[in-house]
Structure 1
Amino acid sequence: MHSQGVQNLVSKDMRELQSIAAADKREELDLFSREVIRFGNLCKDPQWHNLGRYFSRLDSDDPSHIQLRSEAEMTMQELATIAQHTAELYHEFSALDRFEQDYRRKLEEARALHLPLRGESITMLQSELKQQRKLVRSLKKKSLWAKNLDEIVEKLVDIVTYIHQAISEAFGDNGVTLVRGEQSKNPQRLGTAGLALHYANMINQIDNIASRPTSLPPNTRDNLYHGLPDSVKKALRSRLQTLDAKEELMVSQVKAEMEKTLHWLVPVASNTNKAHQGFGWVGEWANSSTEFGKSTPSESNLIRLQTLYHADKQKTDAYILELVTWLHQLINLVRHCDHGLKPLPIRSPTRRGLDLHSKMQRMLSVDYSTNKSRRIQLSEEDQNLLDDVIGRMKRVPGISKSQEFAMSKKEGTRTWALSKSTGSSPPRELNARGNLDQPRANSLDIMDGLG
């Protein structure tokens, strides 16, 4: 309830959050008790028929309805162990089926080739098949396979009684009105509108585009735009028209602004996707079961408050609008980097550059004033430097030699390096405004090819 996602999307009122949580628990218990009632009607013993009447009287003060916590926890642990053995039985049934298929295939191949049916490979498969059948028989005795339905329903009734009691002790009457459907004054929630999963997919799309803006499939942005709610589309048009007046930022700054929201919003979207996966049939349930003896991971016990189910649609739309606006700026900046940079403004020459320039001018004047009758003796390094400056003077007239910059290209990214006449400063990159920045080490930018 104190998480940033719940506070920003659902409510900051702790009493309201407690009512929502209590209503969710009561709804979950109602679904569970319906299944127990259905199983009860299938029992041979008539005492387990029409359990709905019994459950409806649990709110009364009848002491016969009191279930001790210790006894209930022992019952739940026992059923959890049986359920785990049932999951293992499902896996071993699948393995047994594969062994039997392999064994039959080997026998058919041996008969077709007129080979003996007691070969080494067939004998090994037969031994493995025998061991697998033995394991399956053992698990049948430990699992629900061999349990009596009346016996299991009796334990489930005790658990329904205890959970109802525990919810009442924890929440009191909180959430009772929400369960009964009295929610007309509440804001529109994504879950009740059937939009939670759609919004989760939008948020994941935004996160994927922001993390790798340089490697987008052609239709990614179009798919995101078409999936936006109408209210966000209308607000986005007017929002984008005002962007030109704002100060242009760098890619790293835009990513940092987006991360302020994405770092708490993306986990909520991921929880929403997990909650909607569910278990379609017993095979999927068994495949998703944890290894026997290990505790269930907390992320598999998600509650609705950890998802977008109770998210206020209006609040969520505002965060989506903000993220899409930042995303527009990010894409524009990436395109700007890919298709060229603004020219660098002319900077004032450095003192070292001025001194070296004056020295070169003196050497040139002495050299050419004597009609090349004599030349100043220069070292090889100075002569190469002088030839380079003379060449630049001819190629770029009207620009101060000490201010001249050499531009190099590397893997599609332009970097500016000072010429030798202005010292040996390391190359620096241009930011989005055309100014020199210190080298930055941003892991996201390096992944995106922006570093």
Structure 2
Amino acid sequence: MGIMSLEVSRLMTKVANLWHFLSDKQMSRLQDELTNSLGTRNLVSQDNNHLMELALIEIMDIIKCVAEGVSRLGKKCIDPVYHNLDHVFDNGIEIEVKWCGWEYKLKKMDKRVKKMKRFAAVTSQLCEELEVLSELENGLKRMQYNNTNQLKLHEFEKKVLWQREEVGGLREMSTWVRTYDYIVRLLLRSLFTIVQRVKVVFGISPRIGSFVRSNSISAFSVYPSENLIQRSVSNLGDKPKKYPQRFCGTHTPVKSRGLAQDQTPNSFSDCKKRLFSSKKSTLGDAALSLHYANVIIFIERLAISPHFISPDSREDLYQMLTTRIKHSLRAKLSNLSKSDDSEVYNGEIASEWSSTMQRILEWLAPLAHNMIKWHTERNFEKQRMGYGGNVLLVNTLHYADQVKTEDAITDLVLSLHYISRFGREVNDKAFTGSSCDIHCDDYLVCNRIMSL
């Protein structure tokens, strides 16, 4: 593999993290989050099946991304069976029959994941030691050029030799000395195993690719017999073979609460069609999800002390708002200003606005924070190796309805405006020595409770 071991390490890390994400514990956590997330239900969908479909589609997209990397490596293999892997995962979970039996069994897959993690860790260490070796060798050249004292030169040469031995040992333990065929076979079989795992945790029939509800984990072949894989794979042949299947898996909590057949599409491709037909009204399609996440988090910070918002902060918030939100906000503020000023800004109404703002932030802010986290994980991925995120887009603002989200943000800004305006009036009255009515006291008590 040589220098390509760096790319291999990234792919292996992604595979290992995918396998971890599809564990019973993680999938149960995902479904609990989707079920209990008020923000997801308000802005995305109240249909559990649809939410799980969105999660499934993103997971399969990650698998396809890894498969593209494996396909590029496959073209450099000796065995011709690996030369044409470009379209193996094009249809999601619907894999060609000729690849049946390539999956690892559960225990063996766990061992392979541990091995890939070791490969990735050793490769990371190897990169660091290679940098050290490069610096030492450059230093040695400078010493030789400057006719440095022979004793010091000899000691430095020993240090360089020791570092070369260290690098050599790490190369032997990493993917650096492994063949393309070995690496591609390991990654490809792992991907097939992960696809089978996806079928189980999402309750997908391996025959027709449809979602089904079943309380028996043995309804599906999770990890076909290891003996089905022959030592030589170059003679797969043109005629697809049918293999017997074994059942070996573990209890999967998501499966037992799986997707009902009468409420889901007939195939994975139908799943994606439904997604593309419904995403036109989402923040992700409008490329506003990250921007609105920043707006919501900024409002959340201002809401901590709404009566101490500086003019600069108000201006910054206003500049962050989109044109549609500004128009909506102006219309509502216009209606508010038509009322008598003496009746508009009072403590009782301010307390109600404060309560409304806190209730909205309770369900909206988590989606915004998840959106930031999702982007951070993907950006951090460029600096490190592999996909390590536990947040899916379905947990963020990406699939949120644009109109509903903008209405919620408008209400937040309006609440913030009212509370801030009333707070300034209270402070002005206190400064001038004016008395504050009982509604002011109610507001101040409520605001203090909300900030706890």
Tell me the distance in 1 between the aligned counterparts of 2:356 and 2:141.
Answer: 63
Give the counterpart letter for 2:196 in structure 1.
Q
- TM-score, normalised relative to structure 2: 0.63
Moved more, 249-258 or 44-53: 249-258
Residue 444 and residue 139 in structure 1: after superposition, are their counterparts in 2 closer, same or farther (change >3 A)? Answer: farther
Does structure 1 conserve the Cα–Cα contact (< 8 Å) formed by 2:64 and 2:90?
no
Matched ranges for 1:265-304 at <5 A: 265-278=364-377, 284-286=383-385, 300-304=389-393
Matched ranges for 1:208-219 at <5 A: 208-211=301-304, 219=312
Matched ranges for 1:108-257 at <5 A: 116=149, 118=151, 132-169=163-200, 170-172=202-204, 173-174=210-211, 175-180=268-273, 183-185=276-278, 188-211=281-304, 219-243=312-336, 244=341, 245-246=343-344, 248-249=346-347, 257=356
- Deviation of 1:130 after TM superposition, in Å, equals 5.8
Counterpart in 2 of 1:307? 396
Tell me the distance in 1 between the aligned counterparts of 2:76 and 2:134.
Answer: 30
Does structure 2 conserve the Cα–Cα contact (< 8 Å) formed by 1:190 and 1:313?
yes
Does structure 1 conserve the Cα–Cα contact (< 8 Å) formed by 2:426 and 2:440?
no
Counterpart in 2 of 1:92? 129
Identity across matched positions, percent: 25
**Which structure 1 residue ranges, 5 or more long, are not aligned?**
290-295, 346-429, 447-451
SS in 2 for 1:309: coil
Tell me the distance in 2 between the aligned counterparts of 1:155 and 1:15.
Answer: 33
Does structure 1 conserve the Cα–Cα contact (< 8 Å) formed by 2:374 and 2:391?
yes
Tell me the distance in 1 between the aligned counterparts of 2:401 and 2:121.
Answer: 38
Tell me the distance in 1 between the aligned counterparts of 2:377 and 2:101.
Answer: 32
Give CA-to-partner distance per residue, 1:409-441, whole Å, 9 cap, x none.
Answer: xxxxxxxxxxxxxxxxxxxxx689555999899
Give CA-to-partner distance per residue, 1:255-298, whole Å, 9 cap, x none.
Answer: 55433332443332222223223556987115x99xxxxxx7xx
SS in 2 for 1:211: coil
Give the counterpart letter for 1:64 in structure 2.
C
Question: Which protein has the bigger helix share?
Answer: 2
- Deviation of 1:154 after TM superposition, in Å, equals 0.6
**Larger RCO, structure (CA 8 Å, separation 6 or more):** 2
Residue 48 and residue 325 in structure 1: after superposition, are their counterparts in 2 closer, same or farther (change >3 A)? Answer: same
Tell me the distance in 2 between the aligned counterparts of 1:215 and 1:94.
Answer: 52
SS in 2 for 1:42: coil
Does structure 1 conserve the Cα–Cα contact (< 8 Å) formed by 2:43 and 2:405?
yes
Q: Does 1:262 align with 2:354?
A: no
Give CA-to-partner distance per residue, 1:131-160, whole Å, 9 cap, x none.
Answer: 554443332222232222221111111122
Counterpart in 1 of 2:100? 64
- Deviation of 1:73 after TM superposition, in Å, equals 3.0
SS in 2 for 1:162: helix
Tell me the distance in 2 between the aligned counterparts of 1:252 and 1:99.
Answer: 67
Does structure 2 conserve the Cα–Cα contact (< 8 Å) formed by 1:189 and 1:310?
yes
Does structure 1 conserve the Cα–Cα contact (< 8 Å) formed by 2:308 and 2:420?
no
Residue 274 and residue 142 in structure 1: after superposition, are their counterparts in 2 closer, same or farther (change >3 A)? Answer: farther
Tell me the distance in 2 between the aligned counterparts of 1:213 and 1:47.
Answer: 65
- TM-score, normalised relative to structure 1: 0.63
Pick one of 40, 45, 50 that aligns with 2:79.
45
Does structure 2 conserve the Cα–Cα contact (< 8 Å) formed by 1:344 and 1:435?
no
Residue 150 and residue 254 in structure 1: after superposition, are their counterparts in 2 closer, same or farther (change >3 A)? Answer: same
Give CA-to-partner distance per residue, 1:146-191, whole Å, 9 cap, x none.
Answer: 2222211111111221222222332423553232466325661222
Give the counterpart letter for 2:371 in structure 1.
T
SS in 2 for 1:183: helix
- Deviation of 1:82 after TM superposition, in Å, equals 0.9
Does structure 2 conserve the Cα–Cα contact (< 8 Å) formed by 1:210 and 1:330?
no
- Deviation of 1:42 after TM superposition, in Å, equals 2.7
Tell me the distance in 2 between the aligned counterparts of 1:438 and 1:213.
Answer: 11
Does structure 2 conserve the Cα–Cα contact (< 8 Å) formed by 1:55 and 1:161?
no
| Number of residue pairs matched by the alignment | 346
Give CA-to-partner distance per residue, 1:384-430, whole Å, 9 cap, x none.
Answer: xxxxxxxxxxxxxxxxxxxxxxxxxxxxxxxxxxxxxxxxxxxxxx6
Give CA-to-partner distance per residue, 1:115-139, whole Å, 9 cap, x none.
Answer: 85656xx999777666554443332
- Deviation of 1:309 after TM superposition, in Å, equals 1.4
Pick one of 303, 317, 326 that aligns with 2:406.
317
